């Protein structure tokens, strides 16, 4: 038996534009997914999650299971939840040269699913690390990050970036651009997260931005502007100028809204945090619902978010120095 955990992530700035090779700056945060893997001899695969979806599920399939999964959850949730695990297992089998290996996989996560905090990336990274170690193979972080990216690239029909999986693997603050990524120095930012209890459809939102970008020159310019903003933000981050960083986060949210990926609930939380005195606030991840992040070293934004209609949860997000690790 092997257990690994990996952290979620927050985009400080740069989501969506990173898909087109623009830079992004992210921080790993101390909400983690934990995956336990036990090898089984029959080649089958059993996935057990208590909290990957709202009610959790258990599903068995593979060499010893029938075609009917008999799981009482909507089809798209089932596909999303199992697709990442399927591909992570395939990567582990490939890395260990064990194509017929079967597994019992148990998932526990305190990262909201589909909320922009990197839940799928954390599960994939932890699953690859645990499954390969269970098969007697130790992968370095660079290979884990690359294999995890290949999983998301496959499941998301080629529209994923390396940002989420790289951050979850490495921990700390990172800069991602194109096919490369690197850890960067950053202060422990005073991040406050507001969560509306929902989840955006990442594939649909990414496709919508792509369609807008292909149709209108101004949308393509907006994507490039986000990249320029990230370049500026990285310098500001290195200087520790939180006031200017907050201003850039506000601009980033406006640009993402112009690309059509915000929502009423996200905008309401952003403005609640700003009105409470946050230095800046923006949506996180693909958008459409889920989470916002505010920069505030006081308790005011968190308190304001707790009383904002549509905000289900507000919490302070601490930087996760550790990326993927054995448990």
Angle between helices 217-239 and 202-215 (to 10 degrees): 120
Which letter does DSSP use for residue 162 in this model?
S
Tell me how far CA of residue 311 lies from CA of 11, 249, 266, 280, in angstroms.
19, 20, 9, 18
Question: What are the φ and ψ backbone dihedral angles of 41, each rounded to 5 degrees?
Answer: -90, -10
Alpha helix ranges (H) inside 32-98: 75-95
Three-class secondary structure of residue 209 per DSSP: helix
As given in the structure block, the two tokens for residue 47 are 């996935």
CA angle 281, 287, 290 (to 5 degrees): 80
Which letter does DSSP use for residue 319 in this model?
B
As given in the structure block, the two tokens for residue 141 are 């972080």
Question: What are the φ and ψ backbone dihedral angles of 283, each rounded to 5 degrees?
Answer: -70, 160
- Extended strands (E) in the chain: 2-13, 24-40, 45-49, 57-61, 102-109, 173-177, 180-183, 191-195, 280-283, 291-295, 313-317, 325-326
Catalytic choice (86, 164, 196, 296): 164
The residues pairing with 3 across neighbouring beta strands, listed in sequence order, are: 36
Rounded Cα distance between 141 and 37, Å, is 19
Q: Is 228 a catalytic residue?
A: no
35: left (phi over 0), alpha (psi -120 to 50) or beta: beta
- Extended strands (E) in 98-172: 102-109
Active-site positions? 164
């Amino acid at each position: 038996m092997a257990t690994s955990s990996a952290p979620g992530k927050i985009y400080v700035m740069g989501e969506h534009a990173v898909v087109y090779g623009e830079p992004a700056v992210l921080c790993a945060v101390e909400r983690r997914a934990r995956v336990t893997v036990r090898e089984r001899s029959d080649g089958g695969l059993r996935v057990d999650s208590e909290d990957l979806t709202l009610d959790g599920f258990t599903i068995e399939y593979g060499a010893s299971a029938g075609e009917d999964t008999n799981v009482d959850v909507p089809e798209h949730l089932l596909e999303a939840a199992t697709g990442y695990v399927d591909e992570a297992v395939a990567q582990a089998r490939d890395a260990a040269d064990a194509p017929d290996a079967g597994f019992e996989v148990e998932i526990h996560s305190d990262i909201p699913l589909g909320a922009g905090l990197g839940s799928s990336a954390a599960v994939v990274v932890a699953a690859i690390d645990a499954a390969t170690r269970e098969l007697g193979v130790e992968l370095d972080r660079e290979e884990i990050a690359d294999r995890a990216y290949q999983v998301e690239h496959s499941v998301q029909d080629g529209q994923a970036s390396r940002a989420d999986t790289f951050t979850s693997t490495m921990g700390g603050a990172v800069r991602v651009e194109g096919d490369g990524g690197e850890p960067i120095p950053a202060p422990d930012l005073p991040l406050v997260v507001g969560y509306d209890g929902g989840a955006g459809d990442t594939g649909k939102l990414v496709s919508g931005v792509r369609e807008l970008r292909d149709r209108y020159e101004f949308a393509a310019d907006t994507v490039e502007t986000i990249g320029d903003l990230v370049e500026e933000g990285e310098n500001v981050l290195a200087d520790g100028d939180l006031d200017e960083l907050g201003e850039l986060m506000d601009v980033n949210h406006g640009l993402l809204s112009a690309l059509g990926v915000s929502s009423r609930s996200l905008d309401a939380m952003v403005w609640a945090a700003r009105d409470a005195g946050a230095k800046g606030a923006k949506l996180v991840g693909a958008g459409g619902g889920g989470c916002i992040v505010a920069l505030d070293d006081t308790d005011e934004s968190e308190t304001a978010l707790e009383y904002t209609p549509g905000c289900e949860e507000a919490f302070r997000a601490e930087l996760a120095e550790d990326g993927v690790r054995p448990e």
